[in-house]
Amino acid sequence: MDIEENRISKEILDACILIHRELGPGLLESVYEVLLEDELVRRGFRVTRQTEIPITWRGKRFIKGFEADLIIDKKVIIELKSVEKLHPVHFKQTLTYLRLLNLRLGLLINFGECYLKNGFHRVVNGLE
């Protein structure tokens, strides 16, 4: 894992904890998404929100595939949830986004948890 990706991940966790402490669990994902984008931009990161993830099939590129909640500095994908419990499909979704964009680190963050540390998960592509 790149040192830069780990540094970004640490800043994201710190920003998420700040937001979660202030607002608590259970709001809509879109609320956390907007606030996290703002907090990370304040910290100097380049953030894209609801970024289309194209699918290439047999040499043809399909633009409307998936959308990543947040992409930070073109290195880290953030998939946000605000649910009672994460399911395996949420991890698979994040890994699929990583593979399609050829990135190595995704963060699956569930703001629905009472304690955010229980809802913060690293998903890696192509690493042991």
Q: DSSP 3-state assignment of 111? A: coil
Q: Which tens digits make up the pLDDT trace of 70-79?
A: 999 999 999 9
pTM tops 0.85, yes or no:
yes
- For residue 13, what are the CA distances in angstroms to 7, 47, 56, 60, 104? 10, 15, 32, 37, 17
Q: Residue 11 has which token pair?
A: 């800043």
Specify which residues 72 forms β-bridges with: 47, 76
Task: Please report the pLDDT score of residue 1 as a whole number.
Answer: 56
Helical segments of 24-116, H only: 29-42, 88-101
CATH number of the domain to which 83 belongs:
3.40.1350
Confidence of residue 23 (pLDDT cuts 50, 70, 90): very high
Count of domains for the chain:
1
Range of the domain at 90: 3-124
